[in-house]
Structure 1
Amino acid sequence: MASRPLCLALSLYSCQVIANPQDVSDSGISLGGQYSLSWINHTLSIEEDTTTVWSTIHGQPFVSASAGNDSFTGSNGAFNITQVDTDRCTGQNITSVEQVPWDGTLTGSAVQAKGYLLSCGISHAEYELTFWVPANLTDRVAFYLNIVPQSGPELKKLYLSFASSPDEDIYGLGAQASFASLKSQSIPVFSREQGVGRGDQPITAILNQNGSFAGGDKFTTYTAIASYITTKGNMFSLSGKDAGYANFDFTVSDLITVRYDSLSMDGFFARAGDMFGAVERLTAGTGRMPKLPSWVDNGAILGIQGGQSKVETIVQHGLNLSCPIAGVWLQDWVGTHGQAGPYVNVSRLWWNWENDEKLYPNWPAFVQGLRDQYNVRTLSYVNTFLANVSTKTDGFRRNLYAEADGAGYFVQNTTSDSTAIISSGPGLVAGIIDLTNPGLRSWFTEVMKTQVWSANISGFMSDFGEYTPVTSDTKLYSMVSDAFYAHNEYPLLWAHYQKETIDNLGLQDEALVFHRSAATGSNKYMNLFWVGDQNLNWGVNDGIKSVVTIMLHMGLSGYAHQHSDIGGYTDTLTYDNYNITRSPELLGRWGELAAVSSSVFRSHEGNIPSVNAQFYSNDTTYEYYAYNARMFVSLAPYRRYILETECATKGWPLLRSPVMYHVNDPRTRNISYQSFYLGPGLYVAPVLDPGVEELSVYLPGSAGTTFKHVWTEEVYYGGRDVVVATPLGQPAVFLVNGTEQVELESFLDFVKRENETKLSIE
């Protein structure tokens, strides 16, 4: 192999051949361990032994840059993104490839390709692309790309392009709700409100009227997770400190282009033997989720609002109906106020973290009483905002907004030289706490300890994280550049802060804190992910179907423990004669889905509880809910075994896309919500449409794979479609390959015991 640099697309400069100071063998330059870098026939490639793990495409530029500022419009979390690419560089050369000293590497050195980006309008730039094997993670290659403009209009963003197999399908990039494989898509990585509808019509169009982006689209998501894995076992991730806006372009069959809104970017990649190995290598770098407390296995977490008397009555009634209850989730512990809406008022929470003395006047004693009398734990609610409670008619003890505003503890607006206000409808004015401010962290920790954790709660919904403005006049206390980069980092800071508080209080084995917003690396700080606010309907992009797709992609992004709001969250009442409310059937089928898919079984009343079927609406709905909770509990030994032996040690998800086990079965690559594996032993096809009494299920793999239908004990073989009965309470669940795990005995006992149970949605 020639030990000389490669020249590409020369248009402004002649290629300077710089001798490599290191000895170069025919196998390339060693990166350390089994990895080496080579350049042959105008192609840079990195091999692990004889396997190519990364390469450029022959003769094509692989680094580029452009000018222009991307446009982010919208507010209150509903951001619309317009990418602006002007004067993108069309040429590239390589002037040297050589070993350089580099800290943190296995060998003490790295291999660096240097050269120029050419024909960037009237600009040009120098770049350095450096590769090394990290000393602490020797199963991957890390990289750092840096671009230094040399002349002309200011370049603003970079592009890194590399080869992809045309037959390679791609998964991950966080909470993706609308696609099975991401191949052929161009995916923005930006944390924001997911929107109401996300392409399901007519609700999306109604919400997006008059220039609004409240309806979102198929790409809007709460998470900004810049990592993916592929059916080839490839894994790629940006570094957690690269929090700018990124876009992953998979639209060219043999090429992947990562567009990043900065002139420097770092990350890592590897190629494992299969998709499981890819997830394991990914999570070894980004982190693995802390242990899920064992008490969640004991039953349902009842989402209730309305005060102490109502809560206790519903708990007692559920226990009388043989509903196993692990806890209650009381988001209205801080009190509520009404906001006008079509037909009925919407109830909103007071974001002032103290108990409301009208609804929960004896909060600490009430929380303790539920635990002592019923063995029922209590979860509350906290978010990233503080609301001005000066208009709270039934009073308050502390106005945390006023305290934080006076101390400058909120994200600031430099134009007004004051708090950057978040308005969430009439009567609610709030600020976002600035987690980069050490004064805020100290003050807010005191608030959390004395007003949130002081009652014997067992955790809370840790809401929001995606609202930080991205305008030029937004300022945080400790900001490296501007709010544009702080925005995607905020969910990581929020998760880290909560985990730090839990650790300081010694509540690691008790606390359940669940988040919906996330960034690359957030998983190592949260023990439960919640898929966010979905419509209370059967929708693909933003309904019951979407939660399965989200959980599958999140699992392949390193988030092993997940759940959804049973029944969904978002009601919509409109003046357009189109309304979304929850039916008893949807509530029951969503409970079935949670029982056989989720790490935690938790319900939600929805944002307009009065128009929805609730699990406690009557004995019929409560009995269906209790049945599903019993099914969830029956699977607890099996779930816990997987959580402890595979999720904790390898980062593998509890809920698994069929393609992970059947990568050579082309039909599995297009399965999103239709079916999934719960661990290795159960294959599940949930009922996700109304009025369905039997379901056509595709059983993946070959004829050598067996699937035993648990409700009828009939055995089927892989590679075919089968039709099975799915009466209420019986999602299509199959034992895979005759598994006889002892951890499944309680579930199979449940099936035998409850097989004749008759449920109703009347």
Structure 2
Amino acid sequence: MTPTTIARLMLCLLASPLAYAQNADRQLQGHTRNQNTLELATSDGRYLIKPYSANVVETTFIPNGERFEAASHAVVLAPVDVGARLTDEGARLVYATAGITVVVDKRPFRISYLYKGKPLVAEKHGYGRDGKMETIEFALDDGEALYGAGARAAGMDRRGKRFQLYNKAHYGYGEKSQLLNFTIPLALSSKKYAIHFDNPQVGWLDFDSRKDGTLRYEVIGGRKTYQVVAGDSWDGVMADYTALTGRQPLPPRWAFGNFASRFGYKSEAQTRAVVDRFIADKIPLDAVVLDLFWFGKTVKDTMGNLAWDRDTFPNAEKMMADLKQKGVKTVIVTEPFVLTTSQRWQEAVQQRVLATDEAGKPATYDFYFGNTGLVDMYTQRSRDWFWNVYKNLKAGGVAGWWGDLGEPEVHPSWVQHGEDGARQGADRIHNIYGHDWARLIAEGYRKDYPNERPFILMRAGYSGSQRFGMIPWSGDVSRGWGGLQSQVEISLQMGMQGLAYMHSDLGGFAGAVLDDELYVRWLQYGVFQPVFRPHAQDDVAPEPVFRSERTKVLAREAVWLRYAMLPYNYTLAFDNSSTGMPLMRPVLFEEDEATAISSTYLWGHDFLVAPVVEPGATRKEVHFPVKGSVWFDFHTGEKHMGGITEVVKPAEANIPVYVRAGAFVPMAKVVQSTRDYSTRSIDLHYYHDASVAKGEGKMYDDDGETADAYAKGRYEIVRFASQYAGGKLEIRFSTETGKAQAASERGFALKVHNVQARPRAVTVDGKAVRFSWNDQHNLLEVPVAARKQPSSTVVVTL
């Protein structure tokens, strides 16, 4: 970095409000560089500043008298030498990568961060103590919007609020909730940077609640480490943050289908009957979820049995095999609590698999389900015991796991975890308990079933839980309009924090509310969120097969659309696994000014979705992002211009959904189960507009079940490209096949939207073909015959 560049950086920083962030008491006493790490000696400790990449830098403060805690529960990226350059300018040190520059002012001592010459954020007092809490403070710009802190319903821009970092269930919450099951020590800024506080212990994350321009992290103890992540775009921030904390592996394909679930199915006979009802009503189904009645007849006193109740499920293994023959997987709930009244209590005590009290005896306490102990995830002995429970159940036919109450729901501070030499109090590990529970299952699969993708549905986790394949859900939301209203924000925010499969109990969970309009609107939204899983208390049936006839018809249409969109949705999931981009994306990702919008969102790159979240809605405000872009109504074809907000009239049969001009949307034939899913015949929709000179898209496909299929070369990617000029539209198909994958024979029904007049000619690979053009819908349909040929070209002369 040249002196001229450094001088320019300093001018940028001095012109920023961040220049006033300082700590007059801390004095720099010296500095050294050890390979990739810059070490600063100060009057009260030392700083370690270490780049992980050009766009990710970690800073750790170690107070005098304390030892460095090297272990991170969140970070999996290995730091590399990115050629950072250290310059001593006399009054300051400049430690610069190609992306992030760290500026250390010597007197007064101050650490500031810039990205490609633009000020990002600066420590404001930096590390300090406030009573029993340790703190790290940063200075914020005026007008800077903040996101993160886990799953909350507190408004899309969360600046001005203070959030507790303590995973906790909020039963029956509605439009607002300040504290839910996932509390993540991560702040993201509208300036396209993130700060991850790399410490799971309980505390607070204050997003400038005092209105003095301060981001403040407060914790009871542990690491004083944070990472700054920055990028040119949100795509870059997402890619770098998920590279740091891990990417979500691709779930099994059946996870994108429909689930039958309630609290709960009480017998084998009832479970079989429900599945048969879906098949009879031609509502696609891929999984049935069994709540706690699979191991006991009562809600209380049986948790921890962790074995089939043979009175009510006498032939569970045969039931699961029969359901599998029908294309339906079985998912069962497990909890980490072992009640003193359960069948396994003595076994758990004798094998010493439970968390303990101060005296080393099994910790027991009361909660809603009874008097309980808690499985200790922090000894190898306990993990092996719990994993063997899962292995035995899997051997009988269980296909997926639902981990409930994993905050843990009740977790007194006096409870101790781990072996004698490394015991930890509950508050040190509370926020990573669910994270490490998911890790146990994920690592078990990697060891014992390395070719299978696990399905791990869980209610609590931490930074990086996505890398274990965790599929989070938003907890016990109320069955009311307020409950629906909060769901988009929760999913968008969690996607920004790496957990891209956050979803809700469709229809709402808590309360005996029979509201067919609410139910239908929730399911219509569910088509465009990561997991389609209606679930509720059984006072009112959550399954569409038990609803009124009109409700059933509308619900069936939503499920059919969900299955038709599987090629698009599965490709989104592949992109998430390879880039970290969430499936649901805020408009902010495309418009810097859209800092507070969650009523409209993007489903992948090409869909814009506006859920109907009010009863009897006759109008819906929709913001169409990006001036100069064009959007088409997915259902009617009506054209809308980007960069404006419009009021539209919702239809009963669907919520407002739009597709970007230039988009390719592959869709499949609807099947009763993804077992019968095929991409051999695809309806490929292309949304043409004269304003789009070039477009592109793709479709990812594999067998839907092999772990790491892409890395193993067991995949196909069909890439689509369009070019329009001089009245001629050219659409190209090309297929990339993995090294271990044979090419498939695949045909397309190409459907080109917004073709205003009958084309003069259409050719496929230079040969004229028959086509149809619908003048009412301005829709051109061109058959592209099935072939193994790796590429094809369609030319439409308009």
Give the alignment's TM-score, normalised by structure 2. 0.70
* 1:207 aligned residue: none
Pick from 145, 149, 160: which aligns with 1:173?
A: 149
1:187 to 1:423, Cα distance in 2 relative to 1, 3 A: closer
Is the Cα contact below 8 Å between 1:595 and 1:601 reproduced in 2? yes
* 1:639 aligned residue: 569
**Displacement of 1:614 after TM fit?**
4.3
* 1:492 aligned residue: 435
Q: Is 1:563 aligned with 2:539?
A: no
**Displacement of 1:714 after TM fit?**
0.8
**Displacement of 1:407 after TM fit?**
3.4
How far apart are the structure 2 equivalents of 1:457 and 1:472?
34
Q: Is 1:114 aligned with 2:42?
A: yes
How far apart are the structure 2 equivalents of 1:489 and 1:502?
20
* 2:523 aligned residue: 591
**Displacement of 1:595 after TM fit?**
0.9
* 2:344 aligned residue: 400
Q: Is 1:375 aligned with 2:327?
A: yes
* 1:457 aligned residue: 398
Q: Is 1:610 aligned with 2:539?
A: yes
How far apart are the structure 2 equivalents of 1:733 and 1:141?
39
Q: Which sits farther off after the overlay, 548-557 or 499-508?
A: 499-508
How far apart are the structure 1 equivalents of 2:16 and 2:410?
37
* 1:360 aligned residue: 313
1:155 to 1:686, Cα distance in 2 relative to 1, 3 A: closer
Q: What is the DSSP-based 3-state SS (H/G/I as helix, E as strand, rest coil) of the residue aligned with 1:92?
A: coil
Counterpart code for 1:412: T
Q: Is 1:475 aligned with 2:399?
A: no
1:322 to 1:436, Cα distance in 2 relative to 1, 3 A: same
How far apart are the structure 2 equivalents of 1:527 and 1:715?
39
Deviations 1:120-155 (A, max 9, x none): xxxxxx232331223xx34311110122379xx996
Counterpart code for 1:110: L
Is the Cα contact below 8 Å between 1:529 and 1:561 reproduced in 2? yes
* 1:577 aligned residue: none
Counterpart code for 1:476: H
1:349 to 1:670, Cα distance in 2 relative to 1, 3 A: farther
* 1:739 aligned residue: 663
Residues 662-701 of structure 1 aligned to structure 2 (within 5 Å): 662-663=591-592, 665=593, 668-672=594-598, 674-701=599-626
**Displacement of 1:461 after TM fit?**
1.0
* 2:111 aligned residue: none
How far apart are the structure 1 equivalents of 2:493 and 2:384?
36
How far apart are the structure 2 equivalents of 1:131 and 1:632?
47
How far apart are the structure 2 equivalents of 1:356 and 1:245?
41
Is the Cα contact below 8 Å between 2:192 and 2:233 reproduced in 1? yes
**Displacement of 1:733 after TM fit?**
0.2
**Displacement of 1:261 after TM fit?**
2.3
Q: CA RMSD in A?
A: 3.4
Pick from 259, 272, 278: which aligns with 2:231?
A: 272
Counterpart code for 1:148: N
Is the Cα contact below 8 Å between 1:238 and 1:266 reproduced in 2? yes
Counterpart code for 1:411: A
Q: Is 1:227 aligned with 2:159?
A: no
**Displacement of 1:290 after TM fit?**
1.5
1:517 to 1:244, Cα distance in 2 relative to 1, 3 A: same
Q: Which runs of 5+ in 2 are unaligned?
A: 67-128, 669-681, 686-748, 754-773, 778-798
Q: Is 1:130 aligned with 2:48?
A: yes
How far apart are the structure 1 equivalents of 2:354 and 2:163?
31
Q: Which runs of 5+ in 1 are unaligned?
A: 1-23, 29-35, 41-46, 63-90, 102-106, 116-125, 201-216, 340-346, 391-398, 572-579, 757-762
**Displacement of 1:613 after TM fit?**
5.8
How far apart are the structure 2 equivalents of 1:733 and 1:348?
47
Residues 242-391 of structure 1 aligned to structure 2 (within 5 Å): 242-251=200-209, 252=211, 254-262=213-221, 264-303=223-262, 305-332=265-292, 334-338=294-298, 350-372=303-325, 374-389=326-341
Residues 178-217 of structure 1 aligned to structure 2 (within 5 Å): 178-197=154-173
1:596 to 1:348, Cα distance in 2 relative to 1, 3 A: farther
Is the Cα contact below 8 Å between 1:246 and 1:261 reproduced in 2? no
Pick from 367, 377, 388: which aligns with 1:446?
A: 388
Pick from 114, 126, 143: which aligns with 2:59?
A: 143
Is the Cα contact below 8 Å between 2:587 and 2:625 reproduced in 1? yes
**Displacement of 1:678 after TM fit?**
0.2
Deviations 1:414-457 (A, max 9, x none): 379442324215xx32221011122212222222212x212222
Q: Is 1:158 aligned with 2:134?
A: yes
How far apart are the structure 1 equivalents of 2:548 and 2:178?
40
1:508 to 1:433, Cα distance in 2 relative to 1, 3 A: farther
**Displacement of 1:279 after TM fit?**
1.3
1:338 to 1:376, Cα distance in 2 relative to 1, 3 A: closer
Deviations 1:516-550 (A, max 9, x none): 201122121124222222111111xxx11222111
1:384 to 1:511, Cα distance in 2 relative to 1, 3 A: same
Is the Cα contact below 8 Å between 2:631 and 2:641 reproduced in 1? yes
Deviations 1:176-200 (A, max 9, x none): 22211112222222211134336x6
How far apart are the structure 2 equivalents of 1:637 and 1:282?
27
* 1:95 aligned residue: 28
How far apart are the structure 1 equivalents of 2:379 and 2:227?
30
How far apart are the structure 2 equivalents of 1:327 and 1:735?
30
Deviations 1:47-81 (A, max 9, x none): 7x99879999445445xxxxxxxxxxxxxxxxxxx
**Displacement of 1:611 after TM fit?**
4.1
How far apart are the structure 2 equivalents of 1:230 and 1:299?
35
* 1:213 aligned residue: none
**Displacement of 1:26 after TM fit?**
5.3
* 1:20 aligned residue: none
Counterpart code for 2:604: G
How far apart are the structure 2 equivalents of 1:353 and 1:470?
20
Counterpart code for 2:310: E
**Displacement of 1:722 after TM fit?**
2.4
1:154 to 1:283, Cα distance in 2 relative to 1, 3 A: closer
Give the alignment's TM-score, normalised by structure 1. 0.74
Residues 493-508 of structure 1 aligned to structure 2 (within 5 Å): 493-506=436-449
**Displacement of 1:459 after TM fit?**
0.5
**Displacement of 1:318 after TM fit?**
1.7
Identity of aligned residues (%): 19
